[in-house]
Structure 1
Amino acid sequence: MDGADVWHQPYLNSFINHVNSSPELLQRYPKMKKTSREAEEASVRDGGTLQPLSVFSFINHVNSSPELLQRYPKMKKTSREAEEASVRDGGTLQPLSVFRYDWVQEQLEAPLKKEKKFLFVKDWPGAIDGHFNKLPKVPFKHTFIIRNPLRTAISFRKVCLKLFIHEGNIDEFNIIEGNPYTPIELPNPNHLHAFWQYVRNTIDPNPVVIDTDDLQNFPEQILRKYCEAVGIPFKTTYLKWDSGKETLKGVNGPLRLVSDQADVFVNAASSSCFLPVTSQPPSFESLTSDAQKYCSSLLPGYQEMYLSRIKPES
């Protein structure tokens, strides 16, 4: 979008740092093994002097020099940091370790860069729930993206299993009790609904709500109404975009966006337009027992928010 400065999940990454630097919290999930290199680095670095590779010199010089690497066509980079350094060159991605709640709030409250007109922040409400005091104290128009809980339950289970290796029978994995991204001390089972209620009660009585099925099936209608709601001129060019990780170069987010951990974003990164929904949601009975419980916790809030969504005309 023209003139947009984009932040990708800064609060989620702050939450990940909180989880990864809390041995007591991780010990509750003995069958979950961290796979993110940034997570391991953050854990070891806590109180020590280890640094991400990106702060050092010679290897980064080699990895960020296409002319030099082209001399060795049969040599393929295997280091994730090499890929990150290459994509990050000239971009705004950051090591995961810099993301902390106070730092994020400070960054989002800072004046826009001269060439920017809008600031977009995409995030996960579970990382914001319980940290509402860390929201930026500047005017924002909040938008809530909702999704059928039957689809959400399956998707979230897959994401958790990609971010962490479950040591044991995958069928026994429990998305509610078995992973640190839904710890029991989070205040609300439906974080998105809780955040929506908070915004309505304290910031804006009419935040924007968009259902993902509507957005995919009626992209132009929904985007036109969305742009009108947030005060941004709509352009038909917003219905298409360039695909590939290179498009993430100007995003304010963690380097893990372009790493081998980014397979959770692979469909989004490889897309170039909105595609209509072609499948029906799974049946409740087909879900695993933990996914059924998770789905049930989301359903009442989803139904309430669905009534206030931007509606397509057909």
Structure 2
Amino acid sequence: MVDMISQSKNEADRLPYGSVKRRLEASSTKHVFVKDMAFAMTDGYRQFLPKGYRHTFLIRNPHRSILSYRRSMFKQFSELGLLEGEAADERTYDLERDDRFFAPGYFVKEVYDLWKYLQDEKIDPKPIVIDGDDLLTKPAETLSAYCAAVGLPYNDSLLQWDASLESFKTMKACGDNLLMDLANFYGTAMKSSCFFPPSKSPSRDQMPADVIRCSDKVMTCFEEMYESRLKV
């Protein structure tokens, strides 16, 4: 459902995005869980959102999410030898200047816009919002409340899993070995076997200038969604 280019209806029907939508809407399976990225569901792509589904948004304070993204992407670019000059120094690296993949809405506004779209278009009048810190702090309570809200079965086995790379090797992605090649982003998840408590949030004076600048631009979007989060 990602990277869809505007096409005529007949052309779109032949593309895999339309096929995924039709398969999801026609599924007779009792429980269907689908994951996607909000930045892949911007204006030209929303026609491929399946009907009849509840929508959930996992949010994270921009101070945390943008700082984490900055660290991961700087390390990824550095290992590939793609940084030069000021960009090659983590102290002077700048997301808006040096990261060609950084979303225009900093991966926060895109989430907010899709959340509003679902409500404005009455596709899902009450999308569920889960705050990442709530999930990490109270995983059992948050997951059980979430499952109850969407009609999924809950049991405590959801709180632990095997720390194995095998599941990542079998996941379908938009490129061969994509997940394995992005260990700077998924490495912690690959090695985990349970939910870890959230780390202490950095103070503003400890954050790089580009993280502060970008966070300030989208903080109101996060705060509005945070107010509607699933409370446990």
Q: TM-score, normalised by structure 2?
A: 0.80
Counterpart of 1:199 in structure 2 is: 118
Per-residue deviation, 1:258: 4.5
1:234 CA displacement: 0.9
The CA deviation at 1:137 is 3.4
Cα shift at 1:250:
4.1
- The SS at the match of 1:166 is coil
Amino acid at match of 1:198: Y
CA–CA distance in structure 2, aligned partners of residues 115 and 237 of structure 1 = 25
Give 1:292's aligned residue: 212
Asked whether the equivalents of residues 109 and 138 of structure 1 are also in contact (C-alpha less than 8 Å), the reply is no
Q: Does 1:155 align with 2:72?
A: no
The corresponding residue for 2:181 is 260
Structure 1 residue 292: Cα displacement: 0.9
CA distance in 2, matches of 1:158, 1:193: 23
Question: Residue 144 of structure 1 aligns to a residue in which SS?
Answer: strand
Alignment-derived partner of residue 251 in structure 1: 171
SS at match of 1:275: coil
CA drift at 1:190: 1.4
Asked whether the equivalents of residues 129 and 187 of structure 1 are also in contact (C-alpha less than 8 Å), the reply is no
Per-residue CA deviation, residues 206-227 of structure 1 (Å, 9 max, x unaligned), is 1010011110111111101111
Whether 2:83 is the aligned partner of 1:166: answer: yes
Distance 1:141 1:162, change over 3 A: farther
Aligned to 1:242, the other structure's residue is in SS state coil
8 Å CA contact retained: 1:177, 1:183 = no
Tell me the residue number matched to 2:190: 269
> Is residue 216–residue 276 contact of structure 1 (8 Å, CA) maintained in 2?
yes
- Count of residues in correspondence between the two structures: 214
**1:134-149 pair list within 5 angstroms:** 134-149=47-62
**Separation in structure 2 between the aligned mates of residue 258 and residue 237 of structure 1, nearest angstrom:** 24
Report runs of 4+ in structure 1 exceeding 6 Å deviation: 112-115, 186-189
For residues 39-61 of structure 1, the C-alpha deviation after alignment (integer angstroms, 9 at most, x for no partner) is xxxxxxxxxxxxxxxxxxxxxxx
Larger Rg: 1
- Separation of aligned partners in 2, 1:157 and 1:258: 18
Give the whole-Å Cα distance in 1 for the aligned partners of 2:216 and 2:65.
11
Distance 1:200 1:263, change over 3 A: same
Q: Name the amino acid aligned to 1:276.
A: P
Which residue pairs with 1:123 in the alignment? 36
**1:246: how far off?**
0.1
More strand by share: 1
Cα-to-partner distance string for 1:225-275 (whole Å, 9 max, x where unaligned)? 111111111111111112221022443324334433333101111111112
Say if 2:95 and 2:210, in contact at 8 Å, map to a contact too: yes
Deviation at residue 115 of structure 1 after TM alignment: 9.7
Contact 1:149 / 1:295 at 8 angstroms: preserved in 2?
Answer: yes
CA distance in 2, matches of 1:299, 1:183: 15
1:179 aligns with 2:99: yes
Structure-1 residue corresponding to 2:9 = none
Q: Deviations over 1:97-120 (max 9, x none)?
A: xxxxx4234224315898954333
* 183 and 252 in structure 1: CA distance in 2 versus 1, 3 angstrom threshold: closer
Residues 172 and 124 (structure 1), Cα distance of their counterparts in 2 relative to 1, 3 Å cut: farther
Structure 1 match to 2:228: 308
Q: Is the contact between residue 143 and residue 154 of structure 2 (CA under 8 Å) also seen in structure 1?
A: yes
State the one-letter code of the partner of 2:70: R
Q: Give the superposed CA RMSD.
A: 2.8
Paired position in structure 2 for 1:40? none
The answer for unaligned runs of 5 or more in structure 1 is 1-9, 19-101
Give the letter aligned to residue 168 of structure 1.
G
Alignment check: 8 A CA contact 2:135 2:143 kept: yes
User: Identity across aligned pairs (percent)?
Assistant: 30
